[in-house]
Amino acid sequence: MTIKIALVGNPNCGKTTMFNALTGGTQRVGNWPGVTVDKKVGTLRGNREVSIIDLPGIYSLSPYSPEEAVSRDYLVKERPDAIINIVDATNLERNLFLSTQVLELGIPVVIALNMMDVIDSRGDSIDVGKLSAYLGCDVIETSALKRKGLDEVSTRVMEVASGAGSDRPIRIYSKKVEEAISRISRIIKGTVPDDLLRWYSVKIIEGDPEVSETMRDAMEKAAPIVARLESSLDNDGESIIIDQRYNFITDIVGKSSKRSEKGILTTSDKIDRVVTNRWLALPIFFGVMFVIYYLSISTIGGAMTDWVNETLFEEYIIPGSREWLEGVGTAAWLTSLVVDGIITGIGAVLGFLPQMFVLFILLAILEDCGYMARIAFIMDRVFRKFGLSGKSVIPALISTGCGVPGIMASRTIEDERDRKITVITTSFIPCSAKLPVIALIAGALFDGSPWIAPSAYFLGIFAILISGVILKKMRRFVGEPAPFIMELPAYHRPGLRTIGISATERTRHFVKKAGTVIILACGLIWFLSSYNWGMTAVGVGDSMLADLGKIMAPLFEPLGWGEWRAAVATIAGLVAKENVVATFGILLGFGEVADFGEEIWTALPSIFTPLAAYSFLVFNLLCAPCFAAIGAMRRELGSWASTAKAVAYQCGFAYAIAFIFYQLGLLVQGNGPSIYTPFAVIALVLLLYLTFRPVSGGDKVGEAVAS
């Protein structure tokens, strides 16, 4: 029989690091049933009979967000055998608020007092013996980053899961509250499990909405008891419970911990004085992102990609595959499909894998050292000025890896209006699938300029902010943005193992997509580009794909790239953004030329001017995301009708920005006005009007997008 251990803790308490340390490489990622909140499950290192469930990082078991609801539902309904509650030792008061709720669930708990290495470095001290006595459970000093105390945690949690723990009830509340809890427990006895009597009684006093909905009879019977308690303490039930929890926490923290009297700033405090400074924060952030993309695309990642493209694929994989297939007598059409279609198309995408891997490593370093939380704090100042919730920052940051979990992360936003705006706009940030498109345009048309990738990233931020302003002024989205609360963890040295797991997981996700969706897309593109409507093998220019592309090309002519191959690549990118590069690879036939990388680069200038190429990049960065991300949008928005409207907005916004950029760019270059110039000016004026107009109480466009 499998033993289930749940990991519970606040965001940024080191829970992910501990999960990785306890499970090693055994974790699997999915979604909780019925919701799109990330779910991680693994087996305890060295014991396959123990399952570790990593619950979403939360602050409370009173659910104000879908993630908190997921955690509470699992703990209350699934009833794991034991809980490891990870507590950030550097912020005891805040973290122990969740602990006091977890301890009421009637499930054996072991508290892992994490980041004790930081406490030691500060000269602070915590008496874990006293803390354990006050909380009524085992408290073990740990440092997940340095892998200290983890063996003791896993050993002790196994003991308490098997019933070896001692029952040590704690007294959190005053005598009056305890009496009310006892009376309510007698009322609901028999309707809930005995070990949850206390938990449900406290929730009834709090007036918990979910409990109120599912236990109406009990709520009515308990109402006089709650009313008398509220009257005697002159406060509402929820505030009474919260106040007494914090009074208890303040008391035990004061008795069991001692701060250093050195009076000096910690290293984290000193760093934050610079990186979160009112004037320096944004320039530093821009500089950090420039360095990340410069290393990923123009230097380290670029050199590795050149080797994969020019040596691995061009000299070995493509010629070797063709030679082997021809040697075993494979039909010419099948050889062409495999080599010119699938291998060439996938090779065009996987050639950029080194750049993505470098990017993933650098992003993992930012996350693990603590700076990513500072980015969210810094950008909150900006986002709130544009009417967006500061919590919209988190999905945007996550989307740099993949838009799907970024969209899913919007569930942490309590306000439904802010959540829907975030779902609609978060995919504007360049994800890993868009990185090959950025690298291709930068290398082929801009001589590998290090400014192209950062400009694409900040274009995504610009699109989110402008869209936030536009949508927030529409009737269904009007309202104050939700408050933003986030712990800023102490800076620490990134763990090599954590970085490796994070980068490998993201890379594996990308390769998996390349091995499924892109194979099918490459096969279809090869077929359409190799045959005409009479099913006769022809050149690319006379193929079905060329005919379809020529029908669509005029639509993109005002954007500067009314060429059928560019149009086909864009449409293919709606399935998966990696298909943009794969499609160019097939259509330009670069698998058969002398130099894998250089040939496709030298061919693209025949399709684009530099201005048109950047317009192409703008449209493909901002238009509707891949099918997988659209599916995630459907789950978050609740209907296909709302999703279709959101996709229409994304595509319309992308078209407008690319149109304005290209047409006005022609004027700046001194080319004179075109027939489209007046329409570009009108589009710009309309965009400015939607951005700066006053809030409207009856905007039908907003109603349409939001409904």
Q: Kindly list the distances between the CA atom of residue 332 and the CA atoms of 51, 327, 496, 519, 585, in Å, as whole numbers in the listed order.
A: 51, 11, 48, 19, 20
* Residue, of 426 and 170, whose pLDDT is higher: 426
Share of the chain above pLDDT 70, in %: 84
Band (pLDDT 50/70/90 cuts) for residue 670 is: confident
The average pLDDT across 195-216 equals 85
pLDDT per residue over 454-477, tens digit each?
888 889 888 988 888 888 877 666
Q: Kindly list the distances between the CA atom of residue 694 and the CA atoms of 430, 516, 698, in Å, as whole numbers in the listed order.
A: 30, 47, 12
> Which amino acid, 80?
P
Specify the DSSP class assigned to residue 673.
-
The average pLDDT across 526-553 equals 80
pLDDT per residue over 413-440, tens digit each?
767 788 888 889 888 988 877 888 888 8
* Residue, of 33 and 425, whose pLDDT is higher: 425
What is the distance in angstroms between the CA of the first residue and the CA of the last residue of the chain? 47
DSSP track, 590-620: GGGSS-HHHHHHHHGGGT--HHHHHHHHHHH
Answer yes or no: is pLDDT of 700 > 70: no
Delineate the domains of the chain, giving CATH numbers in brackets.
Answer: 3-161 (3.40.50.300), 175-258 (1.10.287.1770), 284-706 (no CATH)
pLDDT per residue over 210-265, tens digit each?
887 788 888 888 889 989 988 988 888 888 998 999 899 999 998 998 877 655 66
CA 701 from chain center: how many Å? 28
Answer for the pair 323, 481: CB distance below 8 angstroms, yes or no: no
Answer yes or no: is pLDDT of 593 > 50: no
Instruction: Using alpha carbons, select from 247, 279, 275, 354 the residue that is nearest to residue 311.
Output: 354
Specify the DSSP class assigned to residue 161.
H
Answer yes or no: is pLDDT of 507 > 60: yes
The pLDDT of residue 674: 85
Answer for the pair 587, 569: CB distance below 8 angstroms, yes or no: yes
When mean pLDDT is compared across 113-127, 244-258, 392-406, 560-574, the lowest value belongs to 392-406
Beta bridge partners of 110: 84, 138
